[in-house]
Amino acid sequence: MDTENTRTERDRSSATDRPDPVPAAEPGTAAGTVEEGPRSRRFPGLARVAGLLGGTWRRSALLAVVCLGAVLLVSRFVVQPFHIPSGSMEPTLRTGDRVLVNKLVYGPDAEPERGDLIVFDGTGSFVREGAAANPVQEAVRGAFAAVGLAEPAETDFVKRVIGVGGDRVVCCDKEGRITVNGTALDERYLHPGDAPSDVAFDIVVRPGTLWVMGDHRSDSRDSRDHLGDPGGGMVPVENVIGRADWIAWPAGRWGSLEGTDAFARVPDAPEGSLAS
């Protein structure tokens, strides 16, 4: 028997069966540890989830921007929320109400009518021209006001149209009622206990302007308070923002704002007064 050959073969087999030696650790690395690869390589599922979440946030942000832009466009040109800051229009509108102002109702062929509840910019009629405000602050405030999250500008007002161009509006007749073109008004929308007016006046509304008053006459600063100002308290039609048509908030007061028949019997203004 060739014992040398047998030993050699056995030794070769034994060497093959032994596990490979553990490589020596790099300097500064604990023995027996394996160098870690990138986290995304070790946990591919985590990388996919992170990618999906990142895409979701980007889509959500883009959707929010688009929605905000759409709301601002609608508010600018179609319907704008308006916060009622005082009780000058009670009981029709209460402090804190939010109304929706219809901006499409008026145009070259459709001007405000007697009895309409209008929102208008009082600059130059109810408020004197002042220094220009900070444009950035005004832009931010305007954006928040456009969605009903901020107070309206100090120059914005809501009142009821009592007289249009050419009308003669007088306070008061023997029974204490306001007359328009000689016809007494039955103003059932007035605040309970209020007189039609504590201020006597007799005016003819200039063409292109409006005579406006609040429903809570004893708590309203309106055209009567600006009789001595330039413009005589009359609001230019071009300054009208729109008509208040709906109450949107609070929830218990949702609904449309009904018109009034108080002016149904008022005749048109004489032709001569419209040209004056």
How high is the pLDDT of residue 68? 53
Q: pLDDT at position 270, please?
A: 82
Q: How distant is the alpha carbon of residue 248 from its chain centre?
A: 12
Tens-place pLDDT, residues 156-215: 999 999 999 999 999 999 999 999 999 999 999 999 999 999 999 999 999 999 999 999
Rounded to 10°, the helix 44-77/135-146 angle is 90
pLDDT attached to residue 214: 98
Q: Is 197 annotated as catalytic? A: no
* Confidence (pLDDT) at 13: 42
**Summary mean pLDDT of the chain:** 79
The C-alpha atoms of residue 236 and residue 240 are separated, in whole angstroms, by: 7
Burial 256-268 (b: 16+ CB within 10 A, else e): ebeebebbeebee
CA–CA dist 76, 79 (Å, integer): 7
Q: Which ranges of the chain have pLDDT less than 70?
A: 1-55, 57, 60-77, 130-153, 272-276
What confidence score (pLDDT) does residue 125 get? 92
pTM: 0.71
What pLDDT was estimated at residue 180?
98
Q: Which of 75, 88, 197, 220 is catalytic?
A: 88
Q: Is 174 one of the catalytic residues?
A: no
Which of 75, 103, 159, 220 is labelled catalytic?
A: 159
